[in-house]
Amino acid sequence: MLAFVYRLSRPSNEQIAAFTATALSNGTSLFAPTTILISLDGFRADFLYRNLTPTLNQFVAEGISPKYMLPSFPSVTFPNHYTMATGMYPEAHGIVGNTFWDPGLQREFYYTDPERSLQPYWWGGEPLWVTAEKQSVRTAVHMWPGSEAHIENQQIAYVDKYNGSEVLDRKVDRIMDLLDVPGPLDIGAKANTPRPQLIAAYVPNVDGDGHRYGPNSTQIRQTISDADAMLGSILKGLQQRNLTNIVNVVVVSDHGMATTDVSRMIQLEDLIDPDELSHIDGWPLYGLRPKNQDRLYPLYDKLLREHGDNPNIEIHLRENMPERYHFSNNDRIAPLWIIPKAGWAIVTKSEFNVEESRKKGEVYHPRGLHGYDHEHPLMRAIFIARGPAFPHTPGSRMEPFQNIELYNIICDSIGLTPSLNNGTLRLPLRPVGLHNDDEDTVNETPNDPVGVHSVTSTLPSAAMMSAIMSSLSSLAASATGLDDETASAPSATSSAPAATSSKPAHKHWWDWFTDEAEKIEDWVDDFVHKHNPLEDDKGKQDS
């Protein structure tokens, strides 16, 4: 009876023949073409040049990569992750922002609301996991945006729900556990729970701390190092299983990050009357839908007339959006757009009163943003690949490409026939040289202005630093026993250093501690700014 059940659970002879024709052995098991795809959200391309990423730098030296990969417009998380998964521009697959209004459905997509965002009707195109499962290639998708939406009602072998608090070690364990699942010819193989050939994992940590602290902060350095260490653990796990030359590993990111500052804020109310608008999509760029459609062109003309010479914003109708954005052929794209230049942000007064905050010396949060022109150097992402599908000279360099190409690359790496998409790049990739042929990291580090609240020259006095350290010590001593904190909305932080001993009960002690420490840091930054004549001159020039 057991033998009969086992035979029923086994693949057919045809499936086994197809499998073994392309399988590689690690000495104990046969592996069909297998690819691990890891996305490091918010990992800017030049983070590789900060001496924080020994694993990734070694990965570059062993594999093939461009100096950067271009995201798609708008350079925000959900559109770009779904573009990487489908090979389609956002205008084609329909996820045109993290938030947007669909005039046909009369519904709003909001990425942090699963009740709305996980409805299948939002998600066009065919993502990697659907393409694979349709062709009997099993997949495991770990927290990738869109993977929980039951697209085309296709059953996925393994889907892990989003968990923003998951520690990086758990991601490593999950990936290794999936690789340890018995293959089709192994003892204990099961048809319904086979070893996946595609493992796609999403890592949000760098993006989260890039927003909270800024891409040039001290805190982000540790987060970058932690992400690199996680990848080191994955590569070590592959080595321990003798899979280094058997499993493909592709590491990507979705976009970069730019530093924000109160000196680079624009009040929406200074540009347009919000009472004329029915919906505002996106952020930090704004898509505007007038209540009265007859007002669209008058509003556009007024914006151009009064603010068209502002070098810090772009003003476009959907119909005259720059062609390189590929952001016009979808009704979900608002008819009128104000797009800030990298490092700038447009906010409503209810979110952040720019004039009052400047007078009070308040600091704008988040400290880092993205969503800008996808070709701006601060928005550059990464692509690094290694494995049997990439049999190139170690350290091979290829020309930069846009992330619409990733879908075809991953499909080819595991033998899938791609669905319709906007990409044209196929395997084998074509190197143009080696990275060490013309290594010039200075030119690959983009200019990211730090703004008036960043300490750039004068340091606080020893007495001030002593007082600060004393405050930090008292904070640490009184900050135990607190619960987890949820992510905060854009806000202003007071310049006063008032570190209090009363602690909100809903915050984790470390989050509370770092919040209070950050208040002190902001106050010190403001003090330095006010007492530094060089910074005063700089502020006048910026204004």
Give the residue numbers annotated as catalytic, written as ranges. Answer: 77
CA-based end-to-end distance of the chain: 82
Chain centroid, CA 22 distance in Å: 34
Going by C-alpha positions, the residue among 476, 465, 466 that lies closest to residue 514 is 476
Contact 446, 380 (CB under 8 A): yes
DSSP symbols for 323-387: GGG---S-TTS-SEEEEEPTT-EEE-TTT--HHHHHHHT-EEE-SEE--S-TTSGGG-B-EEEES
User: Beta strand 336-340 with 286-290: parallel, antiparallel or unpaired?
Assistant: antiparallel
Distances (CA, A) of 425 to 411, 422, 460, 462: 11, 10, 53, 57
203 Cβ contact partners less than 8 Å away, ≥ 6 residues apart: 38, 39, 40, 41, 168, 171, 227, 230
Q: How many CB atoms sit inside 10 A of residue 476's CB?
A: 14
Q: Considering just the CA atoms, what is the radius of gyration of the chain in Å?
A: 25
DSSP-derived 3-state class of residue 287:
strand
* Contact residues for 392 (Cβ-Cβ < 8 A; gap 6+): 63, 64, 428, 429, 431
The strand pairing partners of 280, in sequence order, are 288
CB–CB of 272/359 below 8 Å? no
The candidate with the shortest Cα–Cα distance to 201, out of 94, 98, 124, 129, is 129
Rounded Cα distance, 394 and 28, in Å: 27
Q: DSSP assignment of 308-334, as one string?
A: TT-TTEEEEEGGGS-GGG---S-TTS-
69 contacts 403 by C-beta, under 8 angstroms: yes
